[in-house]
Structure 1
Amino acid sequence: MTRTRALRVAVAGAGFSGAVIARRLAEAGHDVVVFETRDHVAGNCHTERDPETQVMVHRYGPHIFHTGDERVWAYVNRFGTMMPFNHRVRTTVEGRVYLLPVNLLTINQLFETTLGPDEAKAFIADQADSSIGEPRNFEEQALKFMGRRLYEAFFLGYTRKQWGLAPTEIPASVLKRLPLRFSYEDSYFHHPHQAIPRDGYTAIVEAILDHPGITVQLSTAYTAADRAGFDHSVWSGPLDAWFDHRYGRLGYRTLDFEEIRAVGDHLGCAVMNYGDLEVPYTRIAEHKHFAPWEEHEGTVCFRETSRLAGEGDTPYYPIRLAEDKGVLRQYLDAARAETRVTFVGRLGTYRYLDMDVTIAEALTAADGILHAVEHDTPVPSLFVDA
């Protein structure tokens, strides 16, 4: 790559990662072509108006924007109007409805107590399994952390359904993202900025891509044969796909959606989880509740069921089990050895990323590419420790 001319850059994927990088490079004077295999931009954040109800639907499942990164917050507000949205989740288990994350009300409901914060802390400490030293898996982490009753009510069934695995097969680190709260605070996130775009995520990504230096090709895959026509590639597709799965396939979970339509209000909330193992689905989302500033007579919901992703399925969650780490390491080493390509995003780095982190890392990657161009140095293929 050289700084003496405008570069021709291919970006594979029109989600947030690809769009943010494309915009940054185009603003710096480079010629960018974005390839997108779907017939729309915004990736799994894609939103669209339901033609029957006019509800703004999150087509690939609910997405709530939350961040404490001021640079990212300013960036998304540059391209759309963000409406405040405080995400709250409910769960149905054992024939009753509880609050999530597990908080003081959840604890008092489940144990039929009236404990205060300090009393609840002592009570849960007494419930915890102190015989467990260093937890070896999700189940041991839960039992050591909260005891059997809370674990079996709110985590055992849901986890088995979400991951398709026994909790003893899931790393203990997964549970560290799910703390207990010893207060009645029921907001799902703690970040200072929590919002949903007034006009949907797709409108924001379209605005990011709206630049004369960017060409977007929908329903078009970026193939190995295309690479020779570009000075550099940005790959936000599956990491293993870039290498034609030479070391095997990395594992993902995917989601199946079953539509529910009704008049009025179906759930009374945006998301209802279902923790009982005998209920096959994990949650139902009622999409009009993601836009409380709108009013709709009809409603549209989607019931979600998780399963292992196969060829042709939309990948959602990287599994990252211990037995997959050797294969992942081979791909990461191969990626770092690549030239003229940068790997980004959830698929390209094989990590679970929230939207704000995706945008932050895309901005970092774009800055890194431009810095390398300016100083005529090689562009790193990975800007994060995946």
Structure 2
Amino acid sequence: MKNFLLVGAGFSNAVIARELAEQGHRVTVIDQRNHVAGNCHSERDSETDVMVHIYGPHIFHTDNERVWNYINRFGEWMPFINRVKTISQGAVYSLPINLHTINQFFGKTCSPAEAKLLIESQADMSISDPQTFEEQAMRFVGKDLYKAFFYGYTKKQWGVEPKELPASILKRLPVRFNYDDNYFAHKYQGMPKEGYTAIVKNILNHPNIEVRLNTAFSQDMKAKFDHIFWSGPLDAYFDFELGRLGYRTLDFEVFRAEGDYQGNAVINYGDENVPYTRISEHKHFAPWEQHAKTICYREFSRLCEEKDIPYYPIRLVKDKALLKQYVDKANKETQVTFVGRLGTYRYLDMDVTIKEALETAEHIKEALASNQVLAPFYVNMDV
């Protein structure tokens, strides 16, 4: 039996904690905040009684049946389809770009085949191997749709010109030649009936797990535990010795109203001159509930500073160079394993986070069974 310390009480460490606790190990989970679930934390607003995603919207979607079955062990999930709208140049459109978006934008009544030909006529076919975000968008939808739906939003979200961003950020450009406006294309989609925090609390509810909130990590803790799982920022573990990795953070302008403010859970604002990226209305994330009042978040993106909560790793050239140095440093560690979005400096959806946590726990169990040294990383950290 081992004595493990898990730093951070989000999905990654909650899943690993549960898997190890069920094997009979003693597990202590600490978090410097006053709640579990990390940035997925949700709680009811005292004024409206709406379940609010405190750190911004989280919609669960996956094709991974194992992950879906796993999270359904720990609470009731309700059907939820995310139908995103965007306001651009004074009009409201559906995202991702679909047949309705195309017809509305160009003032046409194209069939699917006609729409494909129209988009091909707009696309910049001279770009054979897109290297930047801008080239990727121009290659697949052309200048007009790019400017309307991607340019302004992306510039606000990342704080740089889209031509400075890698094409990988726009990994694939979903353009649908039908009227499907489901933002995600995954088999399983849903929302926890009682919020994400309740799910994580249930995962952590095991006699071998002790949770300590309002508790920051300190170096003297190392001597009290056999091994540490670190889900905080990778550079923070080393006290930012080599410098700080780049992140974007979010500011939320919260406001309340009577009735229904915007009629939809998420509306993006594509125009560059609108300072916020989107407005989320949280009552619409729980359509099975009824509320007389509503609460909304205007979302602003900016560079993460020292006291801010990191959200999205930037991973531009200088960040990748610094990341490689931290990975080299981490690979020399023998008492810590780095996990999750912050610990591995990658953008991960919730389902991938849970999948990797389950796989990491399997590697840990196998290593312990054969008396192997636990590795600093159980994911590919090639930069």
- Bucket of the pairwise TM-score, normalised by the shorter protein: over 0.9
TM-score, L = length of structure 1: 0.97
The answer for the alignment partner of 2:165 in structure 1 is: 170
List structure 1 runs of 4+ shifted beyond 3 angstroms. none
CA contact (8 A) 2:228 2:337 kept: yes
User: d(CA) in 2 for partners of 1:328 and 1:119?
Assistant: 46
Deviations 1:202-242 (A, max 9, x none): 00101111111111110111122211111000000001111
The answer for the alignment partner of 2:11 in structure 1 is: 16
User: d(CA) in 1 for partners of 2:54 and 2:148?
Assistant: 30
**Identical amino acids, percent of aligned pairs:** 62
User: d(CA) in 1 for partners of 2:135 and 2:203?
Assistant: 45
User: d(CA) in 1 for partners of 2:346 and 2:379?
Assistant: 11
**Correspondence 1:380 to 2:375:** yes
Of the three residues 199, 204, 210, the one matched with 1:204 is: 199
Give the number of equivalent residue pairs. 381
TM-score, L = length of structure 2: 0.98
The answer for the alignment partner of 2:231 in structure 1 is: 236
Of the three residues 197, 201, 211, the one matched with 1:216 is: 211
What is the deviation of 1:60?
0.4
CA RMSD of aligned residues (A): 0.9
CA contact (8 A) 2:140 2:173 kept: no
CA contact (8 A) 1:92 1:272 kept: yes
User: d(CA) in 2 for partners of 1:323 and 1:184?
Assistant: 41
**SS across alignment from 2:364:** helix
What are the equivalent positions in structure 2 for 1:247-258 lying under 5 Å apart? 247-258=242-253
CA contact (8 A) 2:277 2:301 kept: yes
What is the deviation of 1:291?
0.4
Deviations 1:238-281 (A, max 9, x none): 01111122221111100000011111000100000000000000
What one-letter code is carried by the residue in structure 2 that aligns with 1:189? F
The answer for the alignment partner of 1:266 in structure 2 is: 261
The answer for the alignment partner of 2:88 in structure 1 is: 93
Deviations 1:64-118 (A, max 9, x none): 1111111111111110001010111000010000000111111111111111111
The answer for the alignment partner of 1:3 in structure 2 is: none
**SS across alignment from 2:171:** helix
Unaligned runs of 5+ in 2: none
Deviations 1:293-331 (A, max 9, x none): 000000000100000000110111011112321111111
**SS across alignment from 1:155:** helix
Of the three residues 289, 293, 303, the one matched with 1:308 is: 303
Distance 1:37 1:178, change over 3 A: farther
What are the equivalent positions in structure 2 for 1:31-50 lying under 5 Å apart? 31-50=26-45
CA contact (8 A) 1:171 1:322 kept: no
Of the three residues 286, 300, 318, the one matched with 1:291 is: 286
What one-letter code is carried by the residue in structure 1 that aligns with 2:23? A
User: d(CA) in 2 for partners of 1:125 and 1:334?
Assistant: 48
User: d(CA) in 1 for partners of 2:30 and 2:113?
Assistant: 55
CA contact (8 A) 1:62 1:285 kept: yes
**Correspondence 1:127 to 2:122:** yes
